[in-house]
Chain A
Amino acid sequence: MGSQHSARERVMWLIGILVVIFYALIPVVWITSLSLKKPDEVGDRKFFSGFSFDNYDVIFSDDTFIAALINSLGIAAIATLISIVLAAMAAYALSRLEFAGKAVILSGALAVAMFPPISIVGSLFDIWRAIGLYDTWPGLIIPYMTFTLPLAIYTLSAFFREIPWELEQAAQVDGATPFQAFRKIIVPLAAPGVFTASILVFIFAWNDFIFANTLTSTDAARTVPAALAFFTGASQFEQPIGAVAAAAVVVTVPIIIMVLIFQRRIVAGLTAGAVKG
C-alpha cells in the first residue's frame, strides 16, 4: 500500500483485513474463553464469565495429559529432526547432481505427498501390530517422517538451487570435502529454508490425529490430539468440555510461540521458495 492509494482504498483494505483476522481468530478466542470457565459456567451462553484456572489445574494434574504432552513433543521433535536431515541430503542431491532416476524420485516424492493418510492407516495398523511397532514412538515417527519428507525436500531444494554453485566450488578449492562444503556452506546459507521446512514438518506431526488415534492405545505413545478424544475430566460425572478446551489451548501455544519466533525467517523462506519453487 503506497501513498498512491486513495483513502477509500485504504479503508476497504482495513475492513478486509479486520474481517479476515476476526474470522481466523474467533475460534481461538472462543476456546480460550471456554477454557477459563468453571464447569458449571460452561453452558451459561456467555462469551466471558470470569477467570478461573481450574481447568488448567485439572489437566496438568492428569498423568495421561502430561504423558501425552511429552509424547507429542518427543515424537514431533524426533520426526522433524530425522525428516530434515534426510530431506536436506536428498534435496542437495536433487538440486546439484545429475543422476539416473532423478525424475522418478521427484515424482515419487510428489506421489507420497498426494497420498491420503486415511487410505494406508488401516493396513499400517495391522503391519505395526505384526512387527511390534504398535503403540510405540517409532510407530508414529516413521509415518510422520514419510509424509513430511516430500514437502521438506521440495522446500529445501528450492533453497539450495538459489545458492550459487561457485560458493561450493570455492569451498572445494579451499580444501573442503563435499560433505564439509555441504555442512559449512550450503546448510548455513539455506537456514531460512531449513527453518521453514522444520516448522512445517513439526506442525504436521504435532497436529496429526489419524495416525495418533489409530496406531496408539496407551500413554506409551498417545499424543495430545488423540489423548484429547479420550479425555474424561476430573471425574467421570463431569463434562470434560472445559478441560478439553484448556488442553486445546495448551497444545496451540507451542506452535504460536515457534511461529512468532521464526516468523521473519518463515516469511522470507516461503517467498523465496515461492519465486523459484
Chain B
Amino acid sequence: MADIVLDKVTKRYPDGYEAVREMSLTIEDGEFVILVGPSGCGKSTALRMIAGLEDISEGELRIGDNVVNDKAPRDRDIAMVFQNYALYPHMTVRENMGFALKLAKTDKGEIDKKVTEAAKILDLEQHLDRRPANLSGGQRQRVAMGRAIVRDPAAFLMDEPLSNLDAKLRVQMRTEVSRIQKNLGTTTVYVTHDQTEAMTLGDRVAVMRSGLLQQVGSPMELYNNPKNLFVAGFIGSPAMNFMPAKLEGDTLKLPMADVRLSDELRGAASGGGEGKQLIAGIRPEDFEDSSLVGEAAHRGATFKSKIDLVESMGSELYVHFTTSSDEKIESEELRELAEDAGAGEVPGGGQEGQIVARLDPTSKATQGEEIELWLDSTKIKLFDPSDGRSLTATGDTDGQPAATEGQGPAGRDPASEPDEQRSE
C-alpha cells in the first residue's frame, strides 16, 4: 500500500513530441483514480511511466516515499493489467498467476495458497490448470487480474483492462473490478477512454487532453462543475449540447430562446464581457417537455421546436432537434471532441446545431411534430470561446493549474494505444 505522487512529470520523445506535459497528480493510499481522455491524450504514457515501462524525461515520480524515476519496473512493487492481458501463453493459469511470486522466490506452499485464494476471489478455481488459449475473453481478463492480485503490490496499474471484452461482459467486469478494489483497498490507477467506466469506477477522475491534465475531481464534480469545454464535452453521455450565446443585459441570447439569467450566473458570465460571443453548454437532462415541468417552470425558459428524431429508452426519451443561429462557434477543443466521438455526437459545431434533450418518458414528443420545450436556466454552463475556460465553474477543484493554456496541435501520440477505439 502506498500513495503515488507525480510531480511535474513530463514525457518527451526524441523527436521533441511531448506526450505528457508537466503532469502533477497525487494519488492517495488506497484510492482508485481513473485517467481518462481521447486517443493519444497521453494517459497510457502516464501510466507506463508510473509502471517504469517508459522513461520519465522530467519531473519526479514517488511511490510510497521513494523517488522511483530510475528504478526498474521490478523494483517498484506494482502490478499491471494490460489491455490485451499479456498472459504467458506457455504457462497454465496457475503458473501465470504464480510467476511473479516464483521470481520473488516465495516458497511453494505460500505460492499455492495465494494463487488458490486469488482464484477463489475471481472464480477461476476450476480453470487453474488450463492454458490461456483455452479460456474465454472474460476468463483471460480475470487471470490478468489474478496475476496482479496475488502479488499484493503497492499499487495496481490497469491499462484499459476491459476494452477487449464485449459490452455485456464489460459491465459485469466493471462491477467486479470495483468490488475487488474496494475489498483489497489497494491504490489503483486505471486508464480508460470510456467515460462510463470513468464515471462509475473511480474515487477521482483525471481528464487528460494532448498530454495536459485538464481537471481532477470526483465524477460528480467533473459532471456538475467542468472547468473547461473539453471536460464538459467529454464527461457525460449523451454529451453536453454546445451552442453560441451572447449576453445582453441580464438576458442570454441562445439560438432557440432568450433566457433570463440568475444573478449568480450573470455575474459569472459578465466575466466574459458584455455583448461578447460565448459558448453555452446545456446537458440533455436540463431540457424537459414544458407541459411536464410543473413548479420549476419559473427558473427556465420555454421555446418551440420541431423534433427530428425521438429515441425511446423506456426510462427516458432522447429527443433530437436542430437550432440555427447566425453565429458560429469555433473551438479547438470541440473539434477534437467531435473527432474523438465520431462526427455529430458533439453538437453545436456549425451554424446548424443538433441538440439532444432527455425528456420524461411520459412526454408526447413525436418525430416531425413541433413541441414546446423548457430548459433549466440555472444549469447553463458558459465558456469563453477563446480558450475554452468555463466562466461558470465554481471553486478550485483540486489545486491543479488551469491547464488550458498552450494548446498545441492535436498531435497523436504514436506510442500509446494506436488501435484504441471509442466503445459503447
Chain A residues close to B by CB (< 8 Å): 164, 166-167, 169-177, 180, 184-185, 188-189
Contacts and interface: CB of A to CB of B under 8 A. Distances in A.
Contact of A188 (B83, B87, B90): B90
B53 A180 contact: no
Contact of B147 (A172, A174, A177, A180): A174
Which 3 A/B pairs are nearest by Cβ-Cβ distance? Answer: A174-B100, A166-B86, A170-B86
A173 B90 contact: no
A277 B53 CA distance: 27
Given A173-B79, A177-B74, A166 B103 contact: no
11 contacts: A167-B88, A169-B80, A170-B82, A172-B53, A172-B74, A173-B73, A173-B80, A173-B157, A175-B74, A176-B103, A189-B90
B147 to A, nearest CB: 7
A164 B86 contact: yes
Interface string B99-132: 1100110000000000000000000000000000
B72 interface: yes
B86 A169 contact: yes
Contact residues of A: prevailing secondary structure = helix
Q: Which of A173, A184, A185, A188 has the most CB of B within 10 A?
A: A173
Nearest to A167: B86
Nearest to A188: B90
Contacts of A176: 74, 103
Contacts of B87: 170
A175 B104 CA distance: 7
Given A173-B157, A180-B103, 19 more contacts: A169-B53, A169-B73, A170-B80, A171-B88, A172-B72, A173-B51, A173-B52, A173-B74, A173-B78, A174-B74, A174-B100, A174-B147, A175-B104, A176-B74, A177-B72, A184-B99, A189-B88, A189-B89, A189-B90
B84 interface: yes
Given A166-B82, A169-B53, A170-B80, A175 B88 contact: no
Contacts of A169: 51, 53, 73, 80, 82, 86
A171 B74 CA distance: 9
A188 B78 CA distance: 25
A175 B86 contact: no
A164 B100 contact: no
Contacts of B79: 173-174
Interface residues of B, number: 24
A169 B88 CA distance: 11
Nearest to B89: A189
Interface string B135-161: 000000000000100010000010000
B63 to A, nearest CB: 13
B74 A166 contact: no
Contacts of A164: 84, 86
Contacts of A167: 86, 88
A164 B80 CA distance: 16
Contacts of B151: 174
A175 B99 CA distance: 9
A113 to B, nearest CB: 30
Contacts of B99: 171, 174, 184
A167 B88 CA distance: 7
Nearest to A166: B86
Nearest to B147: A174
Contacts of A174: 74, 79, 99-100, 103, 147, 151
Given A173-B78, A175-B103, A166 B84 contact: yes
Contacts of A166: 82-84, 86
Nearest to B104: A175
Nearest to B83: A166
Contacts of A185: 88
Contacts of A171: 88, 99
A173 B74 CA distance: 5
Contacts of A180: 103
A175 B100 contact: yes
A173 B89 CA distance: 17
A171 to B, nearest CB: 7
Contacts of B53: 169, 172-173
Nearest to B79: A173
Nearest to B82: A166
Contacts of B78: 173
B96 to A, nearest CB: 9
Contacts of A172: 52-53, 72-74
A97 to B, nearest CB: 14
Contacts of A177: 72, 74
Contacts of B157: 173
A184 B88 CA distance: 10
A189 B90 CA distance: 7
Contacts of B90: 188-189
